[in-house]
Amino acid sequence: MSVPVASSVPVASASPAGAGRSIERPRVLSGVQPTGALHLGNWLGAIRNWVALQSDHDTFFCVVDLHAITVPHQPERLAEDTLSTAALYLACGIDPQKATIFVQSHVSAHSELCWLLNCVTPLNWLERMIQFKEKAVKQGADVSAGLLDYPVLMAADILLYDADRVPVGEDQKQHLELARDIAQQRINARFASRDSAGQPIPILKVPQPLILKEGARVMSLTDGRSKMSKSDPNEGSRITLLDPAELITRKIKRAKTDPQMGLEFGNPERPEADNLLGLYALLAGRSREAAAAECGSMGWGSFKPLLAEATVAALAPLQARYHELRADPQHLGEVLSQGRERASAVAEATLERVRQALGFLASS
């Protein structure tokens, strides 16, 4: 089956130099690591928002497989997890006719720009990163240089596409600030040339984070004070997008509660109530007010089956679509190969701009 993909959409931009975009449509880039099964946090915090953006933005969504090897990984799982993550993008509603979907390692400009940015990024900016500190503690003496460098590769991902907006969950805010600082202070401020009026011509676009309030921080089912995460060794702490109905029901049944009656938002003493009620609102398609009114006087025993039912119903169509997509590997392969083509064209142009600004000898 041939796959129609997003046409090459030039977008107007006063900057950066040479971006060559001619129609106003803000550019968006985001990605998820193919490290095990995607969970409700990845969906509600990130991918759900991508779907909403794809109609009126020029969207690029990559599966960030180079990031997935910054912690010890299983080589025999990497390709399968990469395909499964790409299939989940489509199953969640990303449309290859509107968005460019690709695999990060298929576009070599990501690694190359990462190196150029490495050479201008102060080491102490990276040592300050909260996620590095958290993950490094878990790795002990085995922590890789790649883990420290993770945010620079992420900056390269974003800056290569002149992204205006980067839709992510709350946990990525600091990485986004780093990408902005690298673009602004370490590339544009140092290397920009000037136009005839003496104004600097930026080399890289400075991106904005796009973090929606609702769903930006989905918490663990077993501890309402820590984030739902793929790396939590307790599988009961998260609901993955491919969990079967019985497993979802079981995980919710075992989710941590507190001794109080009634679900409510915003009580700092009741993080589990806040998290599970928030999940219910998002998954059942209710406003927060309507969810709070419906569940405000419910006990946990009545609320949990309601949440389980809403979760199963929200995931069922996505799961059906996922299994259809995995049954047609040729289609998925075509989506990714056409995505790579389009992504490479944009990324190579930006990389060339940076190479020139940094003074490299042109290859002929």
Residue ranges binding ligand TYM (CB under 6 A): 29-33, 41-42, 45-46, 64, 67, 154, 157-158, 166, 168-169, 171-172, 175, 216-218, 227-228
* Shortest reach from residue 195's CB to ligand TYM, in Å: 30
| Minimum CB distance to ligand TYM smaller for 49 or for 249 | 49
Catalytic, out of 135, 205, 253, 304: 135
* Shortest reach from residue 216's CB to ligand TYM, in Å: 6
Helix axes 145-159, 109-118, angle to 10 degrees: 110
| Minimum CB distance to ligand TYM smaller for 5 or for 158 | 158
* Shortest reach from residue 67's CB to ligand TYM, in Å: 5
* Shortest reach from residue 166's CB to ligand TYM, in Å: 5
- Please report the sign of the dihedral spanned by the C-alpha atoms of residue 234, residue 291, residue 52, residue 24: negative
Q: Looking at beta carbons, which pairs linking 277-281 to residues 24 or more positions away fall under 8 Å? A: 278/214, 278/215, 278/218, 279/40, 279/44, 279/218, 279/307, 279/311, 280/306, 280/307, 280/310, 281/214
Catalytic, out of 98, 205, 227, 251: 227
| Minimum CB distance to ligand TYM smaller for 228 or for 310 | 228
CA–CA distance, 139 with 62 (Å, rounded to integer): 26
CA–CA distance, 32 with 81 (Å, rounded to integer): 11
Residues 6+ apart with CB under 8 A from 115: none
Task: For residue 62, give the 3-state DSSP assignment.
Answer: strand
State in Å, rounded, how far the first CA of the chain is from the last one: 38
CA–CA distance, 40 with 35 (Å, rounded to integer): 14
| Minimum CB distance to ligand TYM smaller for 155 or for 192 | 155
Catalytic, out of 230, 251, 253, 304: 230
* Shortest reach from residue 150's CB to ligand TYM, in Å: 7
Max Cα–Cα distance, the chain, nearest Å: 72
Question: Whose CB is nearest to ligand TYM?
Answer: 45
Q: Among this protein's residues, is 227 annotated catalytic?
A: yes
| Minimum CB distance to ligand TYM smaller for 31 or for 224 | 31
Q: Which residues are catalytic?
A: 135, 227, 230
